[in-house]
């Protein structure tokens, strides 16, 4: 009798493991276990997906307990998603659709800034991504080097940050200037904003890759999502490390718990 129960439990465990890595829905393989591995659920990239594929994914997420993001979403695609998930929020400027199923832990320290107001769409993609990952985000927009006094008026806020996303088009100088003012990581985002010789963002990308400031990393052109994810991961790790520190009150004078 015990052997039958044990065998039944083993079969249940094996069946659970089969469905743990991903949910197979034909053309779509949804990574249902990603949040337990990486700290955030799979972000659904929407360009090129059919309405049927998006509806299938949305149905699979109806009972999700974590926050979810759909990226590069068109208004029509949002309508498909929200028809299945009524609590889905559309952030048109950032081209994101989000589903909030968890309260934010309010990790502080992420700052998202832009050189110009034309870069705000990419910056909002970064900021909202970080917010869905549990961060409180400080936004500093239109503080580029063409008017350096605008940037310098925020030095104290920048130096209090734990990770900064700096979004810039044209020549892309903002991250280098910021990198020389702060001790935290600066994630540089080149945008496709600029006149002809900016080559759709290649000019600021090359400027940022050649930055003479230390502590600057660079993501792809217009990749606000990747920058926001990276910044949120940095800040989240700081908070998790603090939580893992031993409680001094629980340690005696010999240093033993």
State how far the Cα of 181 lies from the Cα of 171, in Å rounded to an integer.
19
CATH number of 19-99: 3.30.110
Tokens standing for residue 166 = 């700096």
Distant-in-sequence, close-in-space partners of 41: CB < 8 Å, separation ≥ 6: 34, 35, 64, 66, 67, 68, 69
Axis crossing angle, helix 224-244 with helix 120-132, rounded to the nearest 10: 30
Please say whether the beta carbons of 164 and 127 come within 8 A.
no
Q: What is the CA radius of gyration of the chain?
A: 22
Burial environment of residue 23 by CB neighbours within 10 A (0 to 12, 13 to 18, 19 or more): middle
Whether 107-244 and 19-99 are alike in CATH topology: the answer is no
What ranges do the domains of the chain cover?
Answer: 19-99, 107-244
The domain 107-244 is placed in CATH, from the list 3.40.50.150, 3.20.20.80, 3.60.20.10, 3.40.50.1970, at 3.40.50.1970
State how far the Cα of 220 lies from the Cα of 202, in Å rounded to an integer.
9
Per-residue pLDDT of the chain (257 residues; tens, 9 = 90+): 566 776 667 766 656 555 556 665 566 656 666 666 766 777 899 999 999 999 999 998 888 888 999 999 999 999 999 999 999 999 999 999 999 998 888 999 999 999 999 999 999 999 999 999 999 999 999 999 999 999 999 999 999 999 999 999 999 999 999 999 999 999 999 999 999 999 999 999 999 999 999 999 999 999 999 999 999 999 999 988 888 777 666 655 555 54
**H helix intervals, the chain:** 2-19, 34-38, 51-60, 75-84, 120-132, 148-152, 155-159, 174-179, 202-209, 224-244
State how far the Cα of 88 lies from the Cα of 107, in Å rounded to an integer.
23
pTM, rounded to two decimals: 0.84
Picking from 236, 204, 234, 196, the residue whose alpha carbon sits closest to that of residue 220 is: 204
Tokens standing for residue 221 = 């052109």
Please say whether the beta carbons of 157 and 185 come within 8 A.
no
Please say whether the beta carbons of 54 and 81 come within 8 A.
yes
């Amino acid at each position: 009798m015990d052997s039958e129960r044990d065998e039944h439990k083993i079969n249940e465990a094996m069946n659970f493991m089969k469905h743990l890595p991903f949910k197979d829905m034909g053309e779509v393989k949804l990574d249902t276990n990603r949040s337990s591995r990486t700290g955030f659920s799979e972000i659904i990239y929407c360009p090129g997906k059919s309405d049927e594929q998006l509806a299938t994914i949305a149905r699979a997420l109806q009972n999700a307990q974590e926050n979810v993001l759909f990226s590069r979403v068109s208004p029509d695609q949002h309508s498909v998603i929200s028809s299945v998930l009524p609590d889905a929020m559309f952030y048109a400027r950032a081209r994101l659709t989000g589903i909030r199923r968890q309260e934010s832990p309010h990790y502080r320290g992420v700052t998202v800034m832009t050189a110009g107001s034309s870069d705000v769409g990419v910056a909002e993609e970064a900021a909202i991504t970080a917010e869905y990952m549990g961060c409180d985000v400080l936004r500093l927009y239109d503080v580029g080097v063409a008017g350096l006094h605008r940037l310098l008026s925020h030095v104290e806020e920048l130096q209090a940050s734990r990770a900064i996303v700096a979004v810039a088009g044209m020549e892309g100088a903002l991250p280098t200037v910021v990198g020389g003012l702060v001790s935290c990581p600066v994630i540089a985002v080149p945008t496709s904003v600029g006149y002809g010789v900016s080559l759709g963002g290649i000019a600021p990308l090359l400027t940022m890759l050649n930055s003479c400031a230390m502590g600057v990393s660079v993501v792809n052109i217009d990749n606000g999502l990747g920058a926001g994810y990276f910044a949120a991961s940095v800040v989240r790790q700081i908070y998790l490390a603090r939580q893992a520190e031993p409680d001094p009150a629980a340690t005696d004078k010999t240093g033993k718990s």
